[in-house]
Structure 1
């Protein structure tokens, strides 16, 4: 038997370390495709000259390109037989990724819990992405619901990791040399700076994008995400291909430019939930809430903690959860992250 059916829930054990295939060298092609797939236009990732004025040698790759690449490496080993990707925590971007860098991924299983139905379980992994110099560029925890192969397999001892709800601001890693003292607000597209935002403020990003099957399939292949629910329409009872959650994340992040054009770099991922499934034909919109503001030691640079909510067209204004604590059925994504912004 030379083919690989992927891991099932009973194949995971706490402490297990998985080295993921296949390393991938990133080029400018990924940037061009990313900007074609999403309305992405943050200046730091669009212009070498703008990046140079902010202390970089050249424009780094979008932070979510690094995330999708590292994440995609893990799918054949972690979520090939997934029912759903459930959440994220303790994410940090540790080093910028540039064209020519080669990324690979490694994950450690840090928790397992079988579901009460006995047909699936939740697996927690801590994933680290490294470049060609073995330097960590990204780390995060995610948990995913995975099917069982053998319903009679022994129930493992439940281990649920104790995860922090927020990455402390003083543990965020700022890129070496970053300097927003000469930041050009005209070229960035908006005049709003760190001091203009207030905790509790909510921002409607106004615009929407209708998800199409062809774009979702291109994105999923681009990141080498092999999860069956995204490709095989027979893998779900409703006969639909589930839109990759990362596609929704990038779409919402790109839409947030209108109102948060100067939230240039993502440096922390505090938490996230794919609240409801997204399918082809859904129109995605987004709003953000300012959760916290923190100073940094870098010249002219502040950190802003944001809640980014993506929802399907038709949801009430700023809808999130009902009185029962459950997400509104039109909410697709609830993402809590730190970004860097000029003060």
Structure 2
């Protein structure tokens, strides 16, 4: 009897199944330091306890994507160990900040299955939740993954494709308790722009670029305990390359967006996302954002901005996205739609 885990294959999943993921993780300041070193993130609310206290919080919370990476990483051995590609996201929300000292675990519910026409793989849809030591949900999101079949001859499960919302409605955004931007310090934050300074349809080019290094990607993937074979093992892909973890590109894009969106302090919803093309070591990533919507919240001085942030290879100012047939152009890496909190 073998004791090793080869990972699940497409035919191993059933609709409605709840999968608890192993190895809870207690978060410390070390995750923050490494996160800021890897990307390098610099939004003030996640960098300074004093800035956070002046904004009504007890201290500086962990970066929102730290929570995402931890929750995502826990799910990999059960969901995407045998994945060909992580395809997209929807209906993601952050409910509670994650603080140093919190312990986070994850669980996923299977909500969709659809075998591909080649019979070699299928698309698996799951809703993954991150839960803290008080049994409170800190965030959840839907993602869909292309997973290999163990045996192409195995029968396909009944096709179930979930009906997912195109975006999270502004009135369903959760603002952290106590958050107050009425005394916001724009100088310390790094830019003077508030909600009213942005217009729907406006495009912001984030100018800067970041070249992906193999060592940084490997450190990040280990940090989040992401065990997907395509990120570690050069024999897992026909081209002999290690695929850069898609979440690594999300964090790079979010970090690059600081230049022009320094006051978009907290991510509170993940409306949609697509990893359009693979990224490999040596690629230089740039980003631009389009303002999709603006909203007010009940919290004092706090507004919400909906952004489409696109990460791409190529020159700054290249805002091309899709070509004929609606397919992403080869230089596009990430198309991410999210809500962030910003001073009103």
In which range does the TM-score fall when normalised by the shorter chain? over 0.9
Q: Normalised by the size of structure 2, how large is the TM-score?
A: 0.99
Q: Deviations over 1:247-273 (max 9, x none)?
A: 000001000000000000000000000
Number of residues of Structure 1 aligned to a counterpart in Structure 2 = 343
Report how far residue 313 of structure 1 moved.
2.1
**CA distance in structure 2 between the partners assigned to 1:39 and 1:98 by the alignment:** 19
Report how far residue 315 of structure 1 moved.
7.6
Per the alignment, residue 131 of structure 1 pairs with 132
Residues 128 and 136 in structure 1, CA contact (< 8 A), matched pair in contact too: yes
For the pair 1:115 / 2:116, whether they are aligned, the reply is: yes
Per the alignment, residue 60 of structure 2 pairs with 59
Per the alignment, residue 26 of structure 2 pairs with 25
Q: Deviations over 1:208-240 (max 9, x none)?
A: 000000000000000000000000000000000
Residues 315 and 331 in structure 1, CA contact (< 8 A), matched pair in contact too: no
**CA distance in structure 2 between the partners assigned to 1:181 and 1:230 by the alignment:** 44
**CA distance in structure 1 between the partners assigned to 2:167 and 2:7 by the alignment:** 32
**CA distance in structure 2 between the partners assigned to 1:334 and 1:57 by the alignment:** 33
Change (3 A) 1:315 1:265: closer
Residues 285 and 310 in structure 1, CA contact (< 8 A), matched pair in contact too: yes
Per the alignment, residue 338 of structure 2 pairs with 337
Report how far residue 316 of structure 1 moved.
6.5
Q: Deviations over 1:169-204 (max 9, x none)?
A: 000111000000010000000001110000000000
- Gap regions ≥5 residues in structure 1: none
Q: Deviations over 1:95-150 (max 9, x none)?
A: 00000000000100000000000000000000110000000000100000000011
Per the alignment, residue 162 of structure 1 pairs with 163
Moved more, 145-154 or 255-264: 145-154
**CA distance in structure 1 between the partners assigned to 2:47 and 2:315 by the alignment:** 32
Q: Could you say what the CA RMSD is over the residues aligned between the two structures, in angstroms?
A: 0.7
Report how far residue 319 of structure 1 moved.
1.4
Residues 285 and 311 in structure 1, CA contact (< 8 A), matched pair in contact too: yes
Per the alignment, residue 304 of structure 1 pairs with 305
Per the alignment, residue 12 of structure 1 pairs with 13
Report how far residue 314 of structure 1 moved.
3.8
Per the alignment, residue 209 of structure 1 pairs with 210
Report how far residue 79 of structure 1 moved.
0.1
Report how far residue 323 of structure 1 moved.
3.1
**CA distance in structure 1 between the partners assigned to 2:317 and 2:157 by the alignment:** 42
**CA distance in structure 2 between the partners assigned to 1:7 and 1:43 by the alignment:** 41
Per the alignment, residue 89 of structure 2 pairs with 88
Map 1:184-223 onto structure 2 (within 5 A). 184-223=185-224
The 3-state SS of whatever aligns with 2:61 is: coil
